[in-house]
Structure 1
Amino acid sequence: MADQFDLIVLGSGPGGYVAAIRASQLGLKTAIVERERLGGICLNWGCIPTKALLRTSEIYHYMTNASAYGLKADNVGFDLGKIVERSRKVAGQLNAGVKGLMKKHKVTVVEGVGALTGKGQLTVTQGDRKTELVGKHIMIATGARARDLPFAKADGKRIWTYRHAMVPTEMPTKLLVIGSGAIGVEFASFYHDMGADVTIVEMLPRILPVEDEEVSAFMDKALTKQGIKLLTGAAIEKLDNGAQAVTASIKAKDGSVSTEEYSHVIVAIGIVPNTEEIGIEALGVETERGRIKVDGYGRTNVEGVYAIGDVTGAPWLAHKASHEGVVCVEKIAGENPHPFETWNIPGCTYSRPQVASVGLTEAKAREAGHELKVGKFPFIGNGKAIALGEAEGFVKTVFDAKTGELLGAHMVGAEVTELIQGYVVARQLESTEAELMETIFAHPTLSEMMHESVLGAYRRAIHF
């Protein structure tokens, strides 16, 4: 007889495992199905291990620039194997943590490849063994995978996806990164700081194209100053993958085509939802351009079938998936959650310098018809930033001139991925410029720039 549950979650990434925990808290008998490792791509091959790598490159950067802080560090070097080992240990530690959470919350973990086989039915295959599960509700949280170039698929040797780039067996000497979203820029930053000659190719007119234009322009100058070569408005026409190098034919924005050799290539041109071979076609689950269509509660067009996270489309962020999972489960359990919305999801890029944002860019706010007040405060005006030796960057805030609503916030510089949450909370609480101006910020901190940027929007900045 098949095991029966109130909820079966297919996929244990940050959306799936968080949903399973919340379901258990609400009294639902819950199972979670995972084909690889608990925690999914984010914990094992994405968000967490990449941050471990970036921390290593950050420290290495400081070591090689120790003289700027009055320090001496001679014969600085690194052990690539140990760098990767540390990153994998960090991922392993958190994987073990998720296992502990599943046990604590009495969530049944079923290992194997899951597929829907009928209404409320799911079959899990592991080798020759098949496990039949029955659930009143089934949540699809299968995530996504890296998109390949159609004419040059990643082989893990010379052409890499993000997954290959996290476990290199050799350090690239000359690296080509295709795509300048968060993933591409983060890996470019890591490998450049570790000594590789890095080039980024981006089809669109600017790098980090979803960010505010001023942030993109600043990052262009900052990365170029570091020595990273940026080719915007350019396209890869051909990659010839050889035994010792990859030859790339690159079409520049002026139409000219150049050919150059690289030791390695990272393809970071987006992701593809994992919707194949999980049984949704037979059930008639509706999709659009590969992603599963859902409402604000994660409900698909098929009763009892839900979907959350990357498999439902952009933004492809772990924290978005987690929140979707909670909303979906609370609705299933008869609670009354607010439907999921994307208006207040922060985005972060953990490069050097970091980038963080929430809400509308200045251009998008103007397109939406808002009359604006815009504040901008530079890192060079902040005492803590100068003391840290991190005086490059700025904080930008965008307000509705009539209502004082904080429409968006955009940052570039040291630790802005931590600072952005202040503005996220402010927007969630529907704070206006009045509340933010009256808030006291500790001194000396980087967060004072957030206050100054708000003041600057109303011509009240103190230190600039």
Structure 2
Amino acid sequence: MKKTAALSVDIVVIGGGSAGLSAAFRAAEQGVRVCVVEYEKLGGECPNWACVPTKAMLKAASLYHTMRRDGARFGVRAKGLTLDVHALMKRKDAVVDVITGSGKRMRKALDEAGIEVVRGRATFTGKTTISVGERVIKAKSFIVATGSREYVPPIDGVDDVPVLTFRDAVSLKRLPESIVIIGGGPVGCEFATFFAKCGVRTTLMHIGPQLLSREDAELAGMAAERLRDVYVGLVPKCKVLSLRKSGKRVCVTYQSGTATRKTVMVDAVMLATGRRPNSDGLALEKAGATFDAEGHLRIDAALRVAPRVFAAGDVTGEWQFTHVAHHAGVLAADNAVRSLRHAPPKRMRLDVVPHVTFIDPELASVGMTAEEAVSAGCAIDIKRFPVGALGRAVVDGKREGMFKVILDQSSGKILGAHLLSDRAGEVIHEVALAMHLGARWDDVASMMHAYPTYSEVIPAAMG
């Protein structure tokens, strides 16, 4: 067999997901020759299996749930209301197709930008070379953007039962009658919302005392109540001890705190126990990269992991969000190009990172919680306002929630903001922009806001 000729480029981007594609296009814009290595679908997990399909599924579930529970209150009644899972999934696939173009649109854009795509898995063979199957690729700089993978906890029997991951859950042909979801982070909470709103008996087991442990404790507690309100059973401080097959069902043995061990029989079990950087098999040590005691890449503020190697996205283990990956991909590309031109690197900023958990209502945050601000030695003021007092919330019948903003006592600058509300993911960006620009809280809150909108929560919290 004839051996494929070696390829030589300026920058190789390993991974064709959110971070990798952002990096590739950014680097190509600056006139360097770029190659992307990817073994799965272009676009990565967010548009194909995660963010996009789950939001399409949540939209359908919310519509069904609203019609069943609240339709009559609004004067809308429907007889024989049913959930057509096949049609739900068909629409989800159509949404994914519109956004991704089935991968063809992205491939065309890469071709038009002069970016070569090599299919396969990359392995470093030296500081300036990688191999992809039989092919050798040489580059002056590399950007590693290989994403992350599901973490499977060491539960007795986990390898012997058919547990679902989020990829499995977005591809179901039929819904189970009952499900246990293990993990109380954003993924677990969003899927618990989906299954419960579809009428599936749903239990969410999480290891800590607080659901959504990275969020403000007060609002996370309110979010837990809202999940219970849509019939999600919550089991905090829970250790899942074993999983056993029992016919077509699964027997889950667990212990909550110091309580007696219990078992529950369900049709399905889903793991939502977090993700780990996807760096296995890359042989990054051959490029000069090092790892900490937990196996995470050591990375500096310029996203450099070795003299010629940069990293971006979930593989870094930092803030595993698509928008962070996009931002980091651009910065990694800039720094890779700057290294070729012997220019000083830019630094990554992670002080203003808005993020949203798409439960009902949405929980959106940016910056520090009150606890984090106090731990950092800040003297703080806290402003609160109940969402239910807003005119728009009354009109929509969506009165659950709270807005909370954390201020530096001396300067009036915004340290963090947290909102549990319908459309919270949109509203939070006004506060994020203010933080990004270094604006004072009273400058933002004194601006006129349209009535009736959820954005009025900002001046309302001014008092």
Match of 1:182 in 2: 186
Give the Cα separation in 1 of the matches to 2:156 and 2:9.
Answer: 44
Q: Identify the match of residue 24 of structure 1 among 22, 28, 36.
A: 28
Match of 1:350 in 2: 358
Give the Cα separation in 2 of the matches to 1:356 and 1:336.
Answer: 35
**Residue aligned with 2:454, SS:** coil
Give the Cα separation in 2 of the matches to 1:337 and 1:161.
Answer: 38
Maintained 8 Å contact 1:146/1:272:
yes
Match of 1:72 in 2: 77
Structure 2 counterpart of 1:90, one-letter code: V
Q: 1:243 to 1:39 in 2, by over 3 A?
A: farther
Q: How does 1:451-462 map to 2 (within 5 A)?
A: 451-453=459-461, 455=462, 461=463
Offset at 1:155?
Answer: 7.0
**Residue aligned with 1:15, SS:** helix
> When the two structures are superposed, what TM-score results if normalisation uses the length of structure 1?
0.93
Match of 1:39 in 2: 43
Maintained 8 Å contact 1:7/1:29:
yes
Q: 1:156 to 1:40 in 2, by over 3 A?
A: farther
Q: 1:69 to 1:98 in 2, by over 3 A?
A: farther
Structure 2 counterpart of 1:446, one-letter code: Y
**Residue aligned with 1:306, SS:** strand
**Deviations 1:367-408 (Å, cap 9, x if unpaired)?**
222221111111211111111221111111110111111000
**Deviations 1:406-451 (Å, cap 9, x if unpaired)?**
0000011211112111111111001112311332212221111122
Offset at 1:157?
Answer: 7.4
Give the Cα separation in 2 of the matches to 1:156 and 1:397.
Answer: 47
**Residue aligned with 2:25, SS:** helix
Maintained 8 Å contact 1:154/1:161:
no
Structure 2 counterpart of 1:352, one-letter code: D
**Structure 1 unaligned runs (5+)?**
456-460
> When the two structures are superposed, what TM-score results if normalisation uses the length of structure 2?
0.93
Structure 1 counterpart of 2:115, one-letter code: V
Give the Cα separation in 2 of the matches to 1:243 and 1:92.
Answer: 37
**Residue aligned with 1:221, SS:** helix
**Structure 2 unaligned runs (5+)?**
none
Match of 2:97 in 1: 92
What percent of counterpart residues are identical? Answer: 29
**Deviations 1:186-245 (Å, cap 9, x if unpaired)?**
000000000011111111111111100111110121112222111111110111133411
Give the Cα separation in 2 of the matches to 1:44 and 1:234.
Answer: 31
Maintained 8 Å contact 2:158/2:242:
no
Q: Identify the match of residue 290 of structure 2 among 286, 289, 301.
A: 286
1:311 aligns with 2:319: no
1:341 aligns with 2:333: no
Q: Higher mean Cα deviation, 52-61 or 87-96?
A: 87-96
RMSD: 1.8
Maintained 8 Å contact 2:18/2:44:
yes
Offset at 1:171?
Answer: 0.7
Give the Cα separation in 1 of the matches to 2:346 and 2:160.
Answer: 43
**Residue aligned with 1:374, SS:** strand
How many residue pairs were aligned? 450
Match of 1:414 in 2: 422
Maintained 8 Å contact 2:207/2:237:
yes
Structure 2 counterpart of 1:94, one-letter code: I
**Residue aligned with 2:125, SS:** strand
Match of 1:458 in 2: none
Q: How does 1:385-404 map to 2 (within 5 A)?
A: 385-404=393-412
Q: Identify the match of residue 146 of structure 2 among 142, 145, 156.
A: 142
Give the Cα separation in 2 of the matches to 1:373 and 1:48.
Answer: 37
Give the Cα separation in 1 of the matches to 2:241 and 2:322.
Answer: 32
